[in-house]
Chains A and B, each alone.
Chain A
Amino acid sequence: MASPEIDEFEQLLFDWEDGTLDTAGTTRLRDLLRKSQAVRKVYVERQMFGAILKFDGDTGIDSADAGRGASGAATFSVSEEGPRFPSAVSESAVDASAALQKTADSVEVARRRYKSLLFVIAASFLFCLVLGRWLLVESRLQSAEQVKPETSEALPEKLESTSAGIALVTRLVDVTWQESEKQFTVGDALSVGVVGLESGVAQIEFFCGATVILEGPARLVLESSTVARLQSGRLRAQVPPAARGFQIHAEELRVVDLGTEFGVAVNEGEADVQVFDGEVELYQPNGEQRLVTAGNAITHAASGVFELAELTPDEFLGLEALDDRVRNQKEDRYQRWLDHSMELRKDPRVITYYSMEQDRYWKRRLASSVVPENRNLDGAIVGAKRVVGRWPQKSGIEFKRPGDRVRVNIPGQFGSLTFACWVKIDSLDRWYNSLFLTDSYQRGEPHWQILDTGQLFFSVRLGGGPGKGHHKVLSPPFWDASLSGRWLHLATTYNVETRTTKHFLNGEKLCEERIPDELFVQQTCLGKATIGNWSSPTRPEADFAIRNLNGSMDEFVLFRDALKSDEIRDLYIQGRP
């Protein structure tokens, strides 16, 4: 049945597994794999066979386990040993020669097998969770600003591109970037190149495992996943044993870590190295090297002279302190927004306001926050999910599927209008991507949406024949994929006094346009409308009926007035995540 090629392959693979295959054999083995699909199939089959046996052996699913009563001890060592858990089990639980004597009670075996498998999985998670504890903290902190939903098809590609990177940006606090350099957001992968901070703090995790906290103003040149050059500023590096050998170059110096925590500062040709824990090796260009141990600090002057210096750990922001800052920043900003929101609710110019604050996740009613309370203005959430909003303590609404929407009914006649919302756009999939669309689009009804070109679109229906029924005001394109997943503040004003429409992004005016007299509408109204989608219109000429937003919204407010530019700016400042 098997071809000579497969025979040869199986023998080679067997030797390779045994660790006895020479280089020529290994090359041949790879060639066979490259050349033939049949060989690859056999390879995977054989490997899968090995995997099953290995896994079963490790998890005690073999007769050896029966009656040994060792599973308790084995599991104990498992949870302590972490990543090596299956070996721990196999060493203690599998004793093949003894096993062969056993005639097992099958029920007992099955019970043990199941138990033991569970233990292993549990142990695996213990390990994962312990190591991942800070990740958990991090992910909670990030979830507000960094949920980047992706389709599963898009993932592998994304992962591939990430693989080009050598480090990740994991936290940013109050960061402003040097103008000449690239800007990053949390979650970005960094490739070889410069990270330039004007101010603020960035946490960078190198793929080797080292974590660096860079305090602006500073310039760090990433050279590889294990080497970075500090051109100016200060950083603190935390290097777990797995990342030992991580290097920071500062001026002429090479600081090679031996598993530790240290700080480096570079200022006008002078480099300071402070070791808080463990030890580092310093290399000079002339080949000289010296060891600096915990509690010591050294200054390396531009002249090349070393001097002992005083240890000042407080000058180097650590992980814990950064964590506090991140929390504080988020907490501060959330509080600031909340205070502002409480005032906004009472503003008589507000027609309706969905703060999306303190709504329970399971509630399908989107409470209007307007004071005095008016429950008739409450919206109904259809399909859309409640998700974390701009801050962990606040919710937002995610629109994903073509049916997702919030339905509202806003009675009354108005003149000028202002629309404002915080939105996180994942992508602009549709020709029209709805922010707020009235159902029937009759005379005086506004439509507020985003085109797939990334332009804000606002119009008020005049009526009459198709095409002539409104004047649309388009902003310049403001959105591209680089803004995907970021919270943006969008606002549009419709001023019936000056007959102008203005679009705003993050408090800045994008554009302003006067509406031609023949298309101007004095009186506006809203009625039944949809946020984040368009209710399938019944009019026959209505095209492009699918207009669902792909993204999330957190706060939506509508005013019976055209807000001034500085008021819009204030909405942005007060609500900035």
Chain B
Amino acid sequence: MPNHRRSLANRSNALKSTGPRSVAGKRASSQNSRKHGLNSTPDFESSSEYRALVDLIAEEGFSGFACADIASSLLNYRRVMDAYYDTYASPEPVDEFLRDANMKASNPIFGELLSPSGSEPQDVREIAAFFASMQRQERRKGGPASRRSADTHKLIRYQRNGIARLSRAIRQG
């Protein structure tokens, strides 16, 4: 089977999937939409780094409350910057097959795949339209640099909040 035809067949079959059935599969797929984890509330207070930071910051003349605030703000800021780097360093990969595929030329293949005995025009049109919309989305996302900047751009607000909190904690401490 030619490569292009096989890829289309695999993707058409994947559309028929009803998702994971096992508990482990469901647990894994429940994390599919997790992007960076910055919306979760971290528990810095129970970490050894936090306690060490509080002790060290206390030696600089900050009050007990300010030390705790500065330490957790610093750890939070580092968490944001680590997520920023991870997002930047591993952008969503470009689906080259989908981006470069000639969808018009693929219509007869869809016809054969859907009903080998004779194509049903309505089904073929639907699946071709679906793949064409996927292709438009893929092309709109652009290359690696475009994806990287778009993904990193979503973390701006976390960085803004993180640094504002840290700066406030230090200046008010």
A and B bind: no
